[in-house]
Amino acid sequence: MVVRKRLSFLVVCVVCSITLIRSAGGELTKEEFNRLHKLLQPSPDEPWRTIPWKITLLDAQRTAAEQRKPIFIWAMDGHPLGCT
């Protein structure tokens, strides 16, 4: 929930920034884009970044068997932002 709130806030900030730049008569420069892009990147200490995610089920299965741990699978269908 906290991640979703932060992401929503950042999206609003970017939209407002772009709107202000365009209303001031200027174009979005590459430097401004890079600054905004860097601002939107999640910090390295976010809790979800510390999880050793596996991309494929076979990799997860192999690692789980080696460590004798269960597998948590997050699966969903539809739009990733819940806009279905």
Q: d(Cα 52, Cα 26) in Å, to the nearest integer?
A: 43
Q: Is 17 helix (H, G, I), strand (E, B) or coil?
A: helix
Full DSSP string of 18-80: HHHHHHTT----HHHHHHHHHHHSPPTT-GGGGS---SSHHHHHHHHHHHT---------S-T
Q: What is the pLDDT of residues 6-23, one digit of tens each?
A: 666 767 667 766 766 666
**At 1, is the pLDDT very low, low, confident or very high (cuts 50, 70, 90)?**
low
How do residues 34-80 score in pLDDT, each as one tens digit?
A: 998 998 888 888 888 888 888 899 999 999 999 999 988 877 777 77
Report residue 73 as tokens: 């699978």
Are 80 and 73 spatial neighbours (Cβ–Cβ below 8 Å)?
no
Q: Where are the domains of the chain?
A: 2-67
